[in-house]
């Protein structure tokens, strides 16, 4: 069994190669197929738990280890303690595939859906449900959901506007389950799983490029600014004046162009202080540049309300009436402390780490003739939450600062997440970031323009807004979850099946 767990661990780590920047999306099928094969030979639910845990720990340790950079390099946490914290976090995340593995072995060994296609369906449904739970429990952490690997050129990308990332993850698990659990030795039966796989890929490929939404309004000229401030220098009091000047010059240079854009965007928390602590006249100067050019400026700031609550926010300045947005989904341990974890902030030093949540229902910003739905950094991991702005929004705009994670996999992985959100909503996703990756993502998930990472600059583009509703925007995750639950119920063929499983467990 130790060999099986080691193989599952390596398969999980290898799954990271299916995500950006590597983009070897077929490895997602191979990785889960290796796990499913090991689970198919497991005798007890405990064995399934350990196999799923090994896969999950390998995947998360390889895929989100960049969190160590934030804790150690910028948070000041000692190296052994930071490594322990990341290991514990990866162990927590690994509990979700572990539970899926345990449930799969328990139900299959109870005689429920022992056949190849039925077993593959059970594996897929349990995998989908486990990833969804990981994305919602304790505020959720859906990073590395396996469906993200299937952005174009994968043929399964065609299902993203219908089923969302969790649903596509379920399809990946179903194909993997067929590869691992179907009987491929006999030609008389092997054609069935082969046909299922080919039909799924063919239907998905046929849906790729299908337009679920239509152009709305006239294209808007935008300039997305990448300030490229190293995280430790950004908060250095001796560099505060330089940070303010750089932001001012970048915005002014765009508005003074012969053909100024209608919308200029600076990244998340681009001004490292509270809005009410900025030098007198600074915001008025920025607003003046925008108004003179007939455009608008959006920038990330920390805003404090009348009750003293602090928000990670974005504001607009210029020809349109002043508008603002406050981040709704905060990062645990980075932007707020979960209950009983106040001690964490006695170990690390993270600026502006005591924040409040913005209201769940915030209207899009009316800018440049478009309705722009903002989300800040980590928020675009939660596809169902972004649907609140639809169908009113015609553009999606993400402001991010991933300088916390250095030169790591975080930047390309985050851009891949934006590609999935664009496909799910049928809207362009604009990204203005501090160190990368500043980009324009089209509704079909393609990246039409991107700035090099860790370089200061402006990404200029003309962007078309879109209106209408994709199936995913209409149903959210409910359709994929309902299908998963139905598959589990259909797999449990007889009412006495669950009782049988329970009795076997008590005997063991």
Q: For residue range 353-406, list pLDDT tens digits in order.
A: 577 889 988 999 999 999 999 999 989 999 999 999 999 999 999 999 998 888
pLDDT of residue 338: 56
Q: What is the pLDDT of residues 230-247, one digit of tens each?
A: 887 777 888 899 999 999
What is the topology classification, in CATH, of domain 214-471?
Nitrilase/N-carbamoyl-D-aminoacid amidohydrolase (3.60.110)
pLDDT of residue 335: 62
pLDDT of residue 334: 62
pLDDT of residue 258: 94
pLDDT of residue 337: 56
Above pLDDT 70, what percent of the chain?
92
Q: What is the pLDDT of residues 127-157, one digit of tens each?
A: 999 999 999 998 899 999 999 999 999 999 9
User: Which tops the pLDDT comparison, 159 or 181?
Assistant: 159
Q: Does pLDDT of 316 surpass 50?
A: yes
Q: Where in the chain is the domain with CATH 3.60.110.10?
A: 214-471
Confirm if 269 and 401 have CB atoms less than 8 A apart.
Answer: yes
Active site residues: 268, 327, 377
| Cα distances (Å, whole numbers) of residue 96 to 10, 12, 438, 446 | 17, 13, 32, 31
Residue of 373, 289, 29, 273 lying closest to 173 (CA atoms) = 29
In terms of DSSP bridges, do strands 395-400 and 370-376 run parallel, antiparallel, or are they unpaired? parallel
Q: What is the pLDDT of residues 176-223, one digit of tens each?
A: 999 999 877 777 677 888 899 999 999 999 999 899 999 999 999 999
Ranges 351-365, 407-421, 463-477: which has the least confidence: 351-365
In terms of DSSP bridges, do strands 324-326 and 365-367 run parallel, antiparallel, or are they unpaired? unpaired
Is the pTM for the entire model greater than 0.85? yes
Confirm if 142 and 131 have CB atoms less than 8 A apart.
Answer: yes
Q: What is the pLDDT of residues 68-126, one digit of tens each?
A: 887 888 777 888 888 998 999 999 999 999 999 999 999 987 765 556 888 999 999 99
Confirm if 297 and 264 have CB atoms less than 8 A apart.
Answer: yes
pLDDT of residue 502: 44
Q: Does pLDDT of 36 surpass 60?
A: yes
Which string of DSSP letters, residue by residue, matches 148-190?
GGG-TTSGGGGGHHHHHHHHHHHHHHHHHHHHHHS--S-HHHH
Confirm if 339 and 310 have CB atoms less than 8 A apart.
Answer: no
pLDDT of residue 336: 57
Q: What is the pLDDT of residues 246-293, one digit of tens each?
A: 999 999 999 999 999 999 999 999 998 899 999 999 999 999 999 999
Q: What is the pLDDT of residues 424-459, one digit of tens each?
A: 999 999 999 999 899 999 999 999 999 999 999 999
Give the mean pLDDT of 465-490.
95
Residues in the chain: 508
């Amino acid at each position: 069994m130790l060999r099986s767990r080691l193989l599952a661990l390596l398969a999980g780590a290898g799954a990271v190669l299916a995500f950006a920047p590597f983009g070897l999306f077929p490895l997602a099928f191979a990785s889960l197929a290796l796990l499913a094969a090991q689970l198919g030979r497991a005798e007890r639910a405990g064995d399934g738990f350990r196999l799923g845990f090994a896969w999950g720990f390998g995947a998360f340790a390889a895929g989100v280890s960049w969190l160590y950079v934030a804790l150690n390099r910028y948070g000041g946490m000692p190296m052994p303690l930071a490594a322990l914290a990341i290991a514990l976090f990866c162990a927590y995340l690994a509990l979700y595939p572990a539970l899926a593995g345990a449930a799969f072995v328990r139900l299959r060994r109870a005689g429920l859906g022992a056949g190849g296609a039925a077993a593959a369906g059970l594996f897929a449904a349990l995998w989908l449900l486990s990833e969804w739970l990981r994305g919602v429990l304790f505020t959720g952490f859906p990073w590395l959901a396996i469906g993200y690997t299937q952005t174009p050129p994968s043929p399964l990308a065609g299902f993203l506007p219908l089923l969302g990332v969790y649903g596509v993850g379920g399809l990946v698990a179903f194909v993997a389950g067929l590869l691992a659990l179907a009987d491929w030795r006999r030609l008389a039966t092997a054609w069935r799983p082969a046909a299922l796989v080919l039909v799924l890929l063919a239907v998905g490929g046929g849906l790729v490029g299908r337009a679920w939404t239509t152009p709305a309004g006239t294209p808007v000229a935008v300039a997305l600014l990448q300030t490229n401030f190293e995280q430790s220098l950004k908060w250095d009091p001796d560099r505060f004046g330089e940070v303010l000047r750089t932001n001012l010059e970048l915005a002014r240079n765009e508005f003074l162009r012969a053909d100024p854009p209608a919308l200029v965007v600076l990244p998340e928390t681009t001004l490292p202080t509270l809005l009410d602590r900025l030098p007198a006249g600074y915001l008025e100067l920025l607003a003046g540049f925008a108004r003179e050019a007939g455009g608008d400026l959006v920038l990330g700031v920390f805003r404090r309300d009348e009750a003293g609550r602090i928000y990670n926010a974005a504001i607009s300045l210029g020809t349109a009436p002043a508008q603002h947005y406050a981040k709704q989904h905060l990062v645990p341990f980075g932007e707020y402390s979960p209950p009983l974890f106040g001690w964490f902030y006695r170990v690390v030093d993270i600026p502006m780490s005591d924040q409040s949540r913005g209201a769940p229902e915030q209207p899009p910003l009316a800018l440049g003739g478009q309705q722009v739905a903002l989300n800040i950094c980590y928020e675009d991991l939660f596809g169902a939450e972004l649907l609140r702005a639809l169908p009113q929004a015609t553009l999606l705009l993400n402001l991010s600062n991933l300088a916390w994670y250095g030169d790591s996999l975080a930047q390309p992985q985050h851009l891949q997440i934006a590609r999935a959100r664009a496909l799910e909503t049928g809207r362009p996703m604009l990204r203005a970031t501090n160190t990368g990756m500043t980009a324009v993502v089209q509704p079909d998930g393609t990246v039409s323009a991107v700035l090099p990472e860790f370089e200061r600059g402006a990404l200029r583009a003309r962007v078309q807004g879109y209106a209408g509703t994709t199936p995913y925007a209409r149903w959210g995750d409910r359709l994929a979850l309902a299908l998963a639950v139905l598959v589990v119920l259909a797999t449990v063929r007889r009412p006495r099946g669950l009782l049988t499983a329970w009795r076997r467990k008590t005997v063991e």
